[in-house]
Amino acid sequence: MRIATTPAMLRQELAGPRQRLVLVPTMGALHDGHLALVQRAREAAGPAGWVAVSIFVNPIQFDRPGDLANYPQPLTEDLEKCRAAGVDLVFCPDQTAMYLPDRSITVTESLLSRQLCGATRPGHFDGVCTVVIKLFNLFQADAAVFGEKDVQQLAIIRRMVRDLDLPVDIIAHPTIREHDGLAMSSRNVRLLPEHRADAPRIHRALEATRSLLRCGERNAAPFLAAARKHLEDSPFLRIDYLEMVDAETLEPIGRIQRPAVMATAVFYGEVRLIDHATLLP
């Protein structure tokens, strides 16, 4: 497995002829969800292609300094997991390798980022778009794999690729969950034991509302009320947002007439977790 820590080293590793390259961008603290993305990337790259993983805790997408300071960064373990998974190339730069002190260019999305995480985390998606387009430029990848857990991030990256004519295919992978339904996240390891035991209620709260859909309900309000009650029954969590949005535009809706997404973000102490459920009329 090849390892690069600077853009210059990465360009050197990528120099010369090569087969199809599929990128899996991550912030490290790799878990089985990330490894599922790596497996999907291998399928997309083919046996002769390259699977590349980037490991970079992107500082400009964090809206809370404490979240950045506490984000797990077990690089040695991450590299071992990449090696065991058959990754061909890992790019693990530090902040100074990715951002010059006087950087003055930021990529901004102005429509899909107005709701959900974009509304409660100012500047977050500017940071996401900026680092992702830098990675696309550096790797010149044929395709990139992203998880569906962050449904808004996936939609924004697809929009950026479309609007800027970026020559990269975006491959989505379904959310990978723990045995109790909690969506896998690098932040899960920061949960206190009692919070970890309670956290599967996030998925249950969203999934339980499907019974309303089966009964013919289409107004968004009952779905949101049912999910909110289930979440608020917890003595530990605080709701950041709970919204029903159109699956394509991510705009809030009052009635389910097209595919919709019910999305939530909650806090357990300082740990912020997200999840969503797609509802089809």
Domain containing residue 61: 2-173
Residue of 31, 34, 173, 203 marked active site: 34
Closest CA to 93 of 2, 3, 21: 3
Q: What is the pTM of this model?
A: 0.96
Instruction: Please give the structure tokens belonging to residue 32.
Output: 């089985």
Alpha helices in 60-165 (DSSP H): 65-70, 75-84, 95-98, 116-120, 124-139, 151-163
Domain assignment present for residue 280? The answer is no
Whether 16 and 68 share a structural domain: yes
Domain assignment present for residue 181? The answer is no
27-74: pLDDT as tens digits: 999 999 999 999 999 999 999 999 999 999 999 999 999 999 999 999
Let me know: does 199 contact 187? Beta carbons within 8 Å: no
Whether 26 and 121 share a structural domain: yes
Task: Look at residue 16 and tell me whether its pLDDT is greater than 90.
Answer: no
pLDDT band at residue 17 using 50, 70 and 90 as cut-offs? confident
Whether 106 and 221 share a structural domain: no
Distances (CA, A) of 281 to 116, 144, 210, 213, 260: 21, 30, 10, 7, 8
Instruction: Please give the structure tokens belonging to residue 242.
Output: 């709970």
Domain assignment present for residue 281? The answer is no
Q: Which one of 124, 151, 173 terminates a domain?
A: 173
34 is catalytic: yes
Instruction: Please give the structure tokens belonging to residue 159.
Output: 């929009």
